């Protein structure tokens, strides 16, 4: 982590209200958060506390109802659809809990989905090699285990060399063994490319591999702690 603390994301008083049939749901309120270049941040918090909502807003998948969000010098709030699409395409890599691979495409083709539209992508095979799946490039998702599928999803997320990697419960559907493989892949990328990485998890142990841990409570940030020392994924007790 750089000493200069180069800020990638800044949020000011971000709020998110969902209008539902049963009334308003305040998913986020008054969220002020800075995320720094190259850091590995973990978001913790009880179910329904607004973690995914914030991640979606940072990734340009959703919009805040109030407050402002900046990605470096660019303000995301107030961007139109076209602008958000461009932002996602050029800067953000996503990893989701349920892998979300396109079942009719092989591992390589799933990665290619990204490299087809990105500005300066790495070759799909290189991205797959990074997550240790080089030999499985021609397999369809249905022919791979959950962990392998999630690693394909990571390869897909990093293939465009994104500045930020947003992961919503990437190990949520995995056992400890495969979960660790996935975390190692994320750590590896964070170390090698300095990609700012935000990981949502329910596994409090994972916080130990982060630079910073951000705790959520009822739609706002409870506490932010910085780890003096980080442990390797293999040391995580599941």
Partner 1 sequence: MPAIDRKLLRDFRRLWAQALAIALVLACGVAILLTAFGMYRALDDTRSAYYERNRFGDVFASARRAPESLLREIGDIPGVLAVEARVTGDAILDMPGRAETAVGRILSLPEARAPRLNIPILRAGRLPESPSEVAVNQTFALANGFQPGDVIEANLGGRKRPLTITGTVLSPEFIYTIGPGALMPDNRTFGILWMRRDAVAAAFDMGGAFNDVSLSLDARTPPGPVIEALDDLLDPYGGLGAFGRDKQLSNSFVDAEITQLRSMAMILPPVFFGISAFLVAMVMGRIVALERSQIGLLKALGYSNAEICLHYLMLAGLIAVLGIGIGWTAGTWMARVMAQLYAQFFDFPFLIFRVELWVYAVSAAVALLTATLGALRSALRAALLPPAIAMQPPAPPRFRQTLLDRAMAAARLSQPTVMILRSVTRWPGRSALTSLGVALAVAAVMTSTFMSDALDRVIDAAFFQSNRQDAMLIFSHDLPLSALEDVARLPGVRQVEGQQYHSAILRNAQYEKRVPIEARLPGADLSRVLSRQGAPLDAPPGGILLAERLAAQLHLAPGDTVEVAFLSGDRGTYRMHVSGVVQQYFGLGAYTDLAYLNGLFRQSPRISVANVTLDGTEIDALHAAIAAIPNLTGTVMMSSTRRSFRETIQQNVVVMTGVYMMIAVLITVGVAYNGARVQLSERARELASLRILGFSRAQVSYVLVGETMLLALLAQPLGWALGRLFTEAMVRGFSSDLYALPLVLNTAAYTRASLVVLAAALGSVLLVRRRLDRLDLVAVMKTRE
Ligand X SMILES: Nc1ncnc2c1ncn2[C@@H]1O[C@H](COP(=O)(O)OP(=O)(O)OP(=O)(O)O)[C@@H](O)[C@H]1O
Q: Which of 33, 38, 44, 51 binds ligand X (CB under 6 A)?
A: 51
Residue 104 C-beta: closest distance to partner 1, Å: 4
Q: Measured at CB, which residue is nearest to Mg ion?
A: 52
Report how far Cα 74 is from the mean position of its chain's Cα atoms: 19
Q: Strand pairing partners for 213?
A: 42, 225
Q: In whole angstroms, what is the distance from residue 120 CA to residue 117 CA?
A: 9
Residue 116 C-beta: closest distance to partner 1, Å: 5
115 binds Mg ion (CB under 5 A): no
Assigned token pair, 227: 């780890």
187 binds ligand X (CB under 6 A): no
Summarize as ranges the residues that interact with partner 1 (CB under 8 A): 56, 59, 61-62, 81-82, 85-86, 88-90, 92, 94, 96, 98, 100, 102, 104-105, 109-110, 112-114, 116-118, 156
Q: Any idea of the CA torsion for 138, 142, 148, 154, to the nearest 10 degrees? A: 80
220 binds Mg ion (CB under 5 A): no
52 binds Mg ion (CB under 5 A): yes
92-95 and 164-168: which strand pairing?
A: parallel
Q: Which of 11, 41, 52, 174 binds ligand X (CB under 6 A)?
A: 52
Give the range of 49-57, 86-94, 103-111, 130-138 binding ligand X by CB under 6 A: 49-57
Q: Any idea of the CA torsion for 14, 53, 33, 208, to the nearest 10 degrees? A: 160
Q: Cα Rg for the chain, rounded, in angstroms?
A: 17
222 binds ligand X (CB under 6 A): no
203 binds Mg ion (CB under 5 A): no
What are the distances in angstroms from CA 60 to CA 2, 77, 103? Answer: 25, 9, 25
Alpha-helix residue ranges (DSSP H) falling in the chain: 51-58, 81-91, 107-115, 124-130, 146-158, 176-193
Give the range of 20-28, 63-71, 106-114, 177-185 binding ligand X by CB under 6 A: 20-28
Which partner, ligand X, partner 1, Mg ion, none, binds residue 48 by CB below 5 to 8 Å per kind? ligand X
Q: Which residues would be at the binding site for ligand X (CB under 6 A)?
A: 18, 20, 25, 27, 45, 47-53
Q: Which residues would be at the binding site for Mg ion (CB under 5 A)?
A: 52
């Amino acid at each position: 982590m750089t000493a200069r603390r180069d800020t990638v994301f800044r949020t000011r008083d971000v709020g998110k209200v969902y209008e539902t049939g049963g009334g308003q749901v305040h998913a986020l309120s008054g969220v002020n958060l800075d995320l720094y270049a190259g850091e590995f941040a973990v978001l913790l918090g009880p179910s329904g506390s607004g973690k995914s909502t914030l991640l979606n807003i940072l990734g340009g998948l959703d919009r805040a109802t109030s407050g402002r969000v900046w990605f470096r010098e660019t303000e995301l709030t107030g961007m139109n659809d076209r602008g958000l699409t461009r932002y996602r395409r050029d800067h953000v890599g996503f990893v989701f809990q349920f892998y979300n691979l396109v079942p009719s495409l092989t591992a390589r083709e799933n990665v290619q989905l990204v490299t087809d539209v990105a500005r300066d992508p790495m070759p799909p095979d290189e991205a797959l090699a990074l997550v240790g799946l080089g030999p499985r490039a021609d397999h369809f998702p249905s022919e791979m285990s959950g962990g392998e599928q999630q690693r394909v999803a990571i390869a897909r997320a990093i293939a465009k060399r994104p500045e930020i990697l947003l992961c919503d419960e990437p190990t949520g559907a995995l056992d400890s063994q495969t979960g660790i493989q996935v975390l190692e892949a994320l750590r590896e990328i964070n170390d090698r490319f300095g990609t700012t990485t935000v990981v949502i998890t329910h596994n409090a142990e994972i916080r130990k591999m982060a630079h910073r841990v951000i705790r959520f409570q009822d739609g706002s940030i409870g506490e932010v702690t910085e780890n003096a020392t980080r442990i390797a994924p293999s040391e995580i007790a599941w």
